[in-house]
Amino acid sequence: MNQGFTLIEILVVTIIIVLLTAFTVPNYRVGEQQLTLQRASHKLAQDIRRAQEMAMAVQEVGPTGSNVIPEGGYGIYLKKQPIEIVIFADCNNNQKFTSGEVCGSSPNKFSEKIEEIGLEPGVKIEDLIPSSPLHITFKPPNPNVFISGGDIATIILSSESDPTKTKTITINEIGLITVE
């Protein structure tokens, strides 16, 4: 009695494995892109919430020993091209981030910029509504929300490799932040 496999049986099994691999690999890349986009949108929403929490806590900012509470609260600045995302202290109470703006008095001056934030590789800002650049400022104690150019801010992130894949972050006039 022969014990073994025929050439046809081996070819059939090999073809089945190749077909399964061909269907699995492309779907894996799509899933990875979706996960990256989802992770980036939730991180950006969390960074916006952090600026909001800093305002609610009336957090002090500045070099040690000379901390001040920014008069205008805290905010986040977003620019589409080139991508720029900054958490800032609104020291001059203008509800905007001004690059190079200085807080505090001499000799303890410091920049409005608290932290520059980056997006994950492969993710870009597709659109900013109402406009780019977008300034969202939270002024204590409630905090009051100021959105440059409107009452609702919409940030649309997309995958660089497939711009049809998007995530939308919305911030309304009372400070509710949602990710869709």
| CATH number assigned to the domain comprising residue 34 | 3.55.40.10
- Give mean pLDDT, residues 143-170: 93
- pTM value surpassing 0.85: no
pLDDT range class, residue 157, cuts 50, 70, 90: very high
Residue 66 falls inside a structural domain: yes
Q: What angle do CA 74, 177, 116 make, to 5 degrees?
A: 45
Tell me the pLDDT tens digit for each residue of 28-53. Answer: 677 788 899 999 999 999 999 999 99
Q: What is the pLDDT of residue 32?
A: 84
Residue 154 falls inside a structural domain: yes
List CB contacts of 150: < 8 A, sequence separation 6 or more. 129, 130
The parent domain of residue 155 ranges over 7-179
- Give mean pLDDT, residues 110-133: 93
Dig out the tokens for 63 from the structure.
């070099």
Residue 1 falls inside a structural domain: no
What size, in residues, is the chain? 180
DSSP class of residue 120 equals P
- Give mean pLDDT, residues 70-95: 93
**Beta-carbon neighbour count of residue 7 at 10 Å?**
7
Tally the domains of the chain: 1
**Beta-carbon neighbour count of residue 32 at 10 Å?**
11
